[in-house]
């Protein structure tokens, strides 16, 4: 039987309160608390809180170092473990902003109406425009349209010039990480696909073109 886990915040608060009281008691035992007891205890509390906060920061760093892959956010798939483990790909990732671009393309945001996370730029099958239903004949492509609205919204977060992002998209297409569905779409802009959707537990699952099995293609990346 699955039991509900007590929130970590409750554990930490209980530990914090106990340790704070112990710190105050020890402070009074080690120091003769006279008329200034309120001020003295306030100083003691300030020192304890600062130390406790610093130790939380140290533990967070420990998690970031030892559980890097497990801590990836839902909207940050890249770099994957196998990408970092490959020396050639790892050097590419350090030299170029490949991960930043791919993560931006797969960015998600919470839709309060549907109460679920949805892709910002990738078009899901249920949102296909009528004139793009032809792409659903064999594969349900996860595509995005590199039009003016796309660059207007994605560039500020990337802190990158449009021409630079265009070069990345072209290079990723050449390395077969992206596929060019149309060179001249509805708005006379390229339409790229990063993979295709399949159904998993009643939801669309993104199957990327870039996988461990074909990682050799990424090694051909030239910017």
Residue 35 shares a structural domain with residue 125: no
Q: Is residue 71 part of a domain?
A: no
The count of domains in the chain is: 2
Predicted local distance difference test score (pLDDT) of residue 183: 72
Q: Do residues 193 and 142 touch, judged by C-beta distance below 8 A?
A: yes
Q: Is 136 found in the same domain as 37?
A: no
Residues 33 and 100 in one domain: no
Q: Which domain holds residue 215?
A: 81-220
User: Do residues 100 and 165 both lie within one domain?
Assistant: yes
Q: Are 28 and 99 in the same domain?
A: no
Whole-angstrom Cα distance, residue 22 to residue 25? 5
Which pLDDT does position 104 carry in this prediction?
A: 93
Is there a single domain that holds both residue 99 and residue 197? yes
* Other residues' Cβ atoms within 10 Å of the Cβ of residue 60: 11
What gap in Å lies between CA 32 and CA 40, rounded to an integer? 10
Please check whether residues 57 and 120 belong to one and the same domain: no
Q: Domain for residue 74, yes or no?
A: no
What pLDDT score was predicted for residue 2?
42
| Mean pLDDT split into 10-residue runs, the chain, 223 residues | 61 88 76 59 82 86 70 70 93 95 89 78 73 62 89 92 96 95 68 88 85 94 94
pLDDT of residue 29: 65
Q: How far apart are CA 26 and CA 40, in angstroms?
A: 12
Tell me, yes or no, whether 42 and 94 share the same domain.
no
Least Cα distance to 142 among 80, 191, 87, 187 occurs for 191
Answer whether residue 73 is part of any domain: no
Q: Is residue 156 part of a domain?
A: yes
């Amino acid at each position: 039987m699955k039991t509900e886990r007590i929130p970590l915040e409750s554990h930490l608060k209980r530990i914090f309160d106990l340790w704070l009281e112990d710190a105050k008691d020890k402070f009074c035992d080690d120091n003769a608390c006279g008329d200034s007891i309120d001020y003295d205890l306030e100083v003691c509390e300030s020192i304890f809180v600062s130390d406790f906060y610093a130790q939380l920061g140290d533990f967070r760093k420990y998690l970031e170092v030892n559980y890097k892959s497990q801590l990836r956010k839902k909207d940050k798939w890249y770099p994957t473990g196998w990408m970092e483990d490959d020396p050639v790909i790892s050097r590419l990732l350090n030299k170029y902003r490949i991960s930043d671009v791919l993560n931006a393309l797969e960015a998600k945001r919470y839709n309060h109406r549907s109460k679920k996370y949805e892709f910002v730029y990738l078009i899901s099958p249920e949102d296909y425009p009528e004139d793009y239903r032809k792409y659903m004949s064999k594969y349900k492509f996860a595509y995005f349209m590199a039009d003016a609205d796309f660059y207007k919204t994605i560039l500020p977060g990337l802190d990158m010039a449009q021409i630079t992002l265009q070069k990345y998209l072209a290079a990723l297409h050449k390395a077969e990480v992206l596929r060019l569905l149309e060179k001249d779409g509805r708005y006379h802009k390229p339409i790229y696909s990063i993979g295709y959707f399949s159904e998993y537990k009643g939801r669309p699952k993104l199957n990327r073109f870039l996988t461990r099995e074909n990682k050799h293609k990424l090694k051909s990346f030239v910017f």
